[in-house]
Amino acid sequence: MTASSERCMSPPHFARLSLPGLCLSAWCSKPRSEDPHPWLRVSLGTPQYILFVATQGSENNENKSFVLSYYLGYVDVDDGKWKKYKENGKLKVDNFVI
């Protein structure tokens, strides 16, 4: 896993569901003022079919952190180009209401 940035004690490999035993249990990018377009890249090594994506925020009670919206991107195995995931021809963006 790689990322555009990370906050102290929140590296990209923390971007896993239910990561046990850590005071900070999530990857967190730097603030928007320092990283206006944060991203997290997960390399699966070989082409895979992805059936679903799940997200969760940090379980740190002092500083709860979570994403409010995101889109998925992938590298097309045919042309090697980075593309944004679309459904019915429209960019698929997941938004969360708190």
pLDDT recorded at residue 5: 92
Q: How far apart are CA 58 and CA 28, in angstroms?
A: 8
**pTM score, two decimals?**
0.72
- Per-residue pLDDT 10s for the chain (98 aa) are 899 999 877 888 888 877 665 555 678 888 889 999 889 888 888 888 888 888 877 766 666 677 778 888 888 888 989 898 888 999 888 777 65
Read off the tokens for 5. Answer: 């940035």
3-class DSSP string for the chain: CEECCCCCCCCHHHCCCCCCCCCCCCCCCCCCCCCCCCCEECCCCCCCCCCCCCCCCCCCCCCCCCCCEEECEEECCCCCCEEECEECCEECEEECCC
β-strand partners of 75: 82
Q: Are 30 and 36 in contact (CB under 8 A)?
A: no
